[in-house]
Structure 1
């Protein structure tokens, strides 16, 4: 029987991207079924005026890709994986991420939709609140599953959901499978809650 994984993502988060590419590796070596669901760094960080100004500007840029992910989840859910892979590759592997301000990713979004043959009108929601209600509902599903004081990604493995795992490199092949097995084992233990250490390197998408 396939292991079901629910993966809530924000396409602009580099750590979320690495974890998602790990799950794509896992799909090649384990019998898993991944459901991709949008969440939003914009929603997650609302009202956090204590954040550095530069980071708050990055968060403004994150609204657009999350809104477009939402309309795809609503109208073409079978293409959400394709959208995340395509826009994530541009933002992270091709160095088009890290932008600031509302609308910063408009061109990337339009190019992604065109390459995938998706409805170009989807791009129009990036700078409106047309799908914000639904996006907040998707996001709240993650929060309800995992609790507070977390970031992206959120993974649900079986009956339990967790923030992370936070990785800085992408495990490949059987190594990816073994890490997944370990994650499922921890996730299935009802009294496991947290495992953490200080991070000593930044994400690398080529290793």
Structure 2
């Protein structure tokens, strides 16, 4: 598989569903001629001005809004890292952050950020970006680049992929758990691309009856 096509995924490190999707896409790379390029979007930006509280936080809304404030930190660090080392660093940094945040369940904060940065050979002081607005213009540009061809009533993950006629197929999702592996991952990719690339196709959905499996 030498002639690989590049597909782009937009993620927020805090989103557990995006984490599962990203692990699936890395499996797809093993069985289909694609290469995933990771890009940053922001749940903090997406939910700005929205005062509704998800059902799982109905009995602790303060915790939800605190998490939303903290959500600025990881995405700013990702943007700072991409500025310092190039956007390809996001592949490894997302894994370093996401492994700690999701399977390991570590608390967000400076210790987690510095350890993840050190894992990928970056200056741990880039963790200071978490509290800085210096990177917000770049963050917004990346965020809206992901959303523009999909629409603004979706979340993360977002995927842009080359279509069969040379156009870009862009969509939210898939929301799936656990992450399919091996040829099962490839078959899901084939189906998702077929459905999303069908002119006039907009939505296929059912209620979630299980939480994301993060390991």
1:29 counterpart residue number: 31
- Whether 1:187 aligns to 2:209 is no
Measured against aligned partners, the alpha-carbon deviations of 1:11-56 in whole angstroms (never above 9, x if no partner) come to 1110000000000111111110211100111101101123343322
Residue 58 of structure 2 is matched in structure 1 by none
Picking from 146, 153, 158, the partner of 1:154 is 158
Q: Does 2:54 match 1:54?
A: no
**CA distance in structure 2 between the aligned counterparts of 1:8 and 1:133, rounded to whole angstroms:** 16
Superposition deviation, residue 191 in structure 1: 1.5
State whether residues 38 and 73 of structure 1, in contact with CA within 8 Å, keep that contact through their aligned partners in structure 2. Answer: no
RMSD: 1.3
Unaligned runs of 5+ in 2: 54-60, 163-167
| Number of aligned positions between the proteins | 200
Calculate the TM-score normalised by the size of structure 2: 0.88
Compute the displacement of 1:115 (Å).
2.0
Q: In the alignment, which residue of structure 2 is the partner of 1:108? A: 112
Extract unaligned runs of 5+ from structure 1: none
Per-residue CA deviation, residues 154-175 of structure 1 (Å, 9 max, x unaligned), is: 1112212111100121101000
- Work out the CA distance in 2 between the residues paired with 1:92 and 1:174: 25
* Per-residue deviation, 1:114: 1.5
TM-score (norm 1): 0.92
Structure 2 distance, partners of 1:105, 1:155, is 28
Aligned ranges 1:138-153 → 2 under 5 Å? 138-153=142-157
Distance 1:88 1:123 in 2: 15
In structure 1, C-alpha distance between the alignment counterparts of 2:190 and 2:38, rounded to whole Å = 20
CA distance in 1, matches of 2:210, 2:52: 24
Higher share of residues assigned helix: 1
The equivalent residue for 1:92 is 102
| 1:132 Cα deviation after fit | 0.6
